[in-house]
Amino acid sequence: MFMGYKVAIVGATGAVGEELLKILEQRSFPISELRLLASARSVGKRLEFAGEELEVEEARPESFAGIDIAFFSAGGSVSAKLAPEAVKRGTVVIDNTSHFRLDPDVPLVVPQINSDDLEGHRGIIANPNCSTIIIDLVLAPILKKAGIKRVVLATYQAVSGAGAKAMAELDRQVKDYVAGRTSEPQVLPFASAEKHYPIAFNLIPQIDVFREDDYTKEEWKMVKETRKVLHQPDLRITATAVRVPVFRCHSIAANVETVESLEVAELKELLASAPGVTVMDDPARQVYPMPTELSGRDDVYVGRIRKDNSTENGFNLWVVGDQIRKGAALNAVEIGEELDRRGLVRVG
Ligand code: NAP
Ligand code: 3JM
């Protein structure tokens, strides 16, 4: 008799791992056994799941023996090393890192958009970057209805996207400011960067490393991953990604030019009926999406929907989503649910 899956979480002590635990419990994901894995630093730490305390173990190749599904969110190098070890042991890996996302053998999936891509997976399924998931949920219905000529994005990304330490740094800097103290920034734009900048009362136009073309890797991920998720290899899309002093929820200002003309009212209707999207747009009542209001929500919210009068068939939109939920943990769990529905929790 099927009692549920044996599930592992790699990176269970992190910001995404913690949310994965909550969502698996909230959605009653069918679990018969749960293994919590992290680095050697966390061995023995106890975390709660469904009213039980579970001990964290060190993630090693042998940790995956007997495991059906493993959620990975411990950074690209951990996935590079351990995901193939898990697959070798028959585990299906749902990977939250960027490591395998553009591999042609690895489906990159937002279930509301391209769940058919899961068919024929070879053991690893990639979860897109947080900003990619949030904007693609809005772009997919527009693409389907009217075609897309060009997309220009500017992101306003929360510190929690850079992990638990970045959240602690914003918290500390705000308290230091109030107390009249100063402290050296140590985490942002990312921990191993040569220079660090304060995030409290600041904006940092760098997320992840710079590439040769002077775009950051985060901006490049949004472009490449969106083309893959939407099956539009030549989509004209560009982005500027900015870290902002917000704890949770990424916001994105999007300019979208469609191929076919569309009325604003039609666009609103289209987005209102799109899965995973809620329209929150009432300028007369000052209603629009904001991070503080939308933390912890599952949907992506879109407002400020209006015509771009500088071009034909252009629109401006403002999109906000909880990037730890739909942008990471929730999307990963939804991939797991879809694999279950399709009978695809197996390797090969
Ligand atoms: P975080 O809060 O810094 O947590 C990192 C987690 O990885 C911790 O559980 C940590 O364990 C674990 N870890 C670090 N080194 C390890 C190792 N050598 N072996 C095993 N576990 C190790 O970061 P986060 O925000 O949760 O993000 C984690 C990763 O998820 C990111 O690096 C990124 O690749 C991915 N991510 C994806 C999205 C998305 O949109 N899909 C969004 C955010 C993050 P310890 O506590 O023991 O150090
Ligand atoms: C979000 O490998 C690492 O050090 C993690 C870098 C990282 C990523 C990534 O590239 O996997 C931090 C935050 C992401 C992501 O989702 O792309």
pLDDT digits (tens, 9 = 90+) for 230-250: 999 999 999 999 999 999 999
Check whether residue 123 and residue 11 sit in a common domain: yes
Q: Is the pLDDT of residue 11 over 90?
A: yes
Q: Is the pLDDT of residue 347 over 80?
A: no
Half-sphere exposure of 297 (CA within 13 A, CB side): 18
Confidence of residue 1 (pLDDT cuts 50, 70, 90): confident
Is residue 79 within 6 Å of ligand 1 at its C-beta? no
Check whether residue 81 and residue 225 sit in a common domain: no
The mean pLDDT value for 271-298 works out to 98
In whole angstroms, give the CA distance from residue 107 to residue 148: 23
Buried b / exposed e along 209-230 (16+ C-beta atoms within 10 A): eeeeeebbbbbbbbbbbbbbbb
Domain that holds residue 337: 5-127+328-342
- Say what the pLDDT of residue 348 is: 59
Check whether residue 140 and residue 185 sit in a common domain: yes
Whether 348 is in a domain gets the answer no
Distance between Cα 76 and ligand 2 center (Å): 6
In whole angstroms, give the CA distance from residue 34 to residue 208: 32
Check whether residue 150 and residue 260 sit in a common domain: yes
Is residue 190 within 6 Å of ligand 1 at its C-beta? no
Closest CA to 250 of 340, 317, 159: 159
Other residues' Cβ atoms within 10 Å of the Cβ of residue 39? 16
The mean pLDDT value for 323-329 works out to 96
**Residue reference for tokens 């028959």:** 90
Check whether residue 154 and residue 256 sit in a common domain: yes
Residue 133: nearest ligand to its CA?
1
CA distances from residue 240 to 154, 207, 216, 277, 301 in whole angstroms, order as listed: 5, 9, 8, 23, 20
Distance between Cα 65 and ligand 2 center (Å): 26
Distance between Cα 79 and ligand 2 center (Å): 11
Confidence of residue 2 (pLDDT cuts 50, 70, 90): confident
Check whether residue 147 and residue 95 sit in a common domain: no
Name the 3-class secondary structure at 135. helix
Check whether residue 111 and residue 170 sit in a common domain: no
**Residue reference for tokens 């990312």:** 190
The mean pLDDT value for 153-178 works out to 96
Query: CATH number for the domain including 239?
Result: 3.30.360.10
Closest CA to 137 of 124, 128, 150: 128
Note if 250 is an active site residue: yes
- In percent, how much of the chain has pLDDT > 90? 97
Whether 196 is in a domain gets the answer yes
- The amino acid sitting at 192 is S
Check whether residue 147 and residue 294 sit in a common domain: yes
Q: Is the pLDDT of residue 33 over 80?
A: yes
Tokens of 59: 């993630």
Task: Read off the pLDDT of residues 179-191 as tens digits, 9 standing for 90 and up.
Answer: 999 889 999 999 9
Note the pTM of the prediction, 2 decimals: 0.97
Is residue 76 within 6 Å of ligand 1 at its C-beta? yes
CA distances from residue 170 to 3, 19, 69, 185, 281 in whole angstroms, order as listed: 43, 20, 34, 9, 30
Check whether residue 150 and residue 122 sit in a common domain: no
How many separate domains does the chain show? Answer: 2
- In percent, how much of the chain has pLDDT > 70? 100
Whether 347 is in a domain gets the answer no
Residue 102: nearest ligand to its CA?
2
Buried b / exposed e along 294-319 (16+ C-beta atoms within 10 A): bbebbbbbbbebeeeeeeebbbbbbb
Check whether residue 13 and residue 121 sit in a common domain: yes
Whether 137 is in a domain gets the answer yes
Is residue 321 within 6 Å of ligand 1 at its C-beta? no
Substitution candidate for ligand 1 out of 10, 45, 56, 73 with most atoms within 8 A of CB: 73
Check whether residue 175 and residue 208 sit in a common domain: yes
> In this predicted model, which residue has the larger pLDDT, 182 or 93?
93
Check whether residue 136 and residue 262 sit in a common domain: yes
Is residue 159 within 6 Å of ligand 1 at its C-beta? no
Note if 249 is an active site residue: no
CA distances from residue 118 to 12, 65, 87, 191 in whole angstroms, order as listed: 24, 23, 16, 34
The mean pLDDT value for 86-94 works out to 98
Adjacent-strand bridge partners of 321: 250, 300
Whether 64 is in a domain gets the answer yes
Kindly state the DSSP code that residue 327 receives in the 8-state scheme.
I
